[in-house]
């Protein structure tokens, strides 16, 4: 039986406005970052499913960068590094990696808006969760942008949980 649910996380980046280079990690710390954790991604321990939609929004309306969301089936991949450092793709993370979703440039609705967002739909990215029924993620910028201090990112996955 397939159960479609939305699971989300909010990332609050560090209290600085240091510009990102394309390929940098957007994380919650410049010293000890934590993985994005999408809880209840499956109905059972070691369960599986499909990601069908990804929505990214931020509270910086001028942010029109594009991003990549890396998804992992286990916590603490070797690729995880501090905020505003280049993401390194490591062979050792291969068995943990579910894949990634490229998120097009964020957009805002104009004057008075306080957010920017982008949506990717019509996906069918398979995954298997760990014993905690969780998927893990790393947000990577694919474009240069200057963030706001303590800028927030809201990431929502729509998933079809198979078991």
> Mapping DSSP to helix (H, G, I), strand (E, B) and coil, where does residue 152 land?
strand
pTM of the model as a whole = 0.95
Separation CA 2–CA 112 (nearest Å): 40
Per-residue pLDDT of the chain (163 residues; tens, 9 = 90+): 789 999 999 999 999 999 999 999 999 999 999 999 999 999 999 999 999 999 999 999 999 999 999 999 998 788 788 999 999 988 989 899 999 999 999 999 878 899 999 999 999 999 999 999 999 999 999 999 999 999 999 999 999 999 7
Provide the domain count of the chain.
Answer: 1
Residue-range definition of the domain harbouring residue 37: 3-161
CATH number at residue 77: 2.60.120
- CA–CA gap between residue 149 and residue 117 (Å, rounded): 18
| DSSP-derived 3-state class of residue 7 | strand
């Amino acid at each position: 039986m397939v159960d479609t649910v939305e699971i989300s996380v909010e990332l609050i980046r560090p209290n600085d406005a240091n510009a990102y280079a394309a390929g940098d990690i957007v994380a919650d710390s410049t010293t000890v970052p934590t993985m994005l954790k999408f809880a209840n991604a499956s109905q059972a321990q070691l369960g599986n499913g499909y990601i069908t939609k990804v929505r990214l929004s931020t509270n910086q309306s001028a942010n029109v960068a594009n991003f990549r969301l890396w998804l992992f089936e286990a916590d603490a991949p070797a690729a995880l590094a501090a905020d505003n450092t280049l993401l390194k793709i490591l062979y050792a993370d291969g068995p943990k990696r579910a894949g990634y979703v490229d998120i097009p440039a964020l957009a805002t609705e104009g004057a008075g808006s306080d957010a920017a967002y982008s949506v990717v739909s019509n996906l069918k990215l398979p995954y298997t969760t760990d014993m905690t029924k969780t998927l893990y993620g790393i947000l990577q910028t694919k474009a240069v942008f200057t963030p706001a201090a303590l800028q927030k990112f809201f990431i929502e996955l729509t998933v079809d949980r198979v078991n």
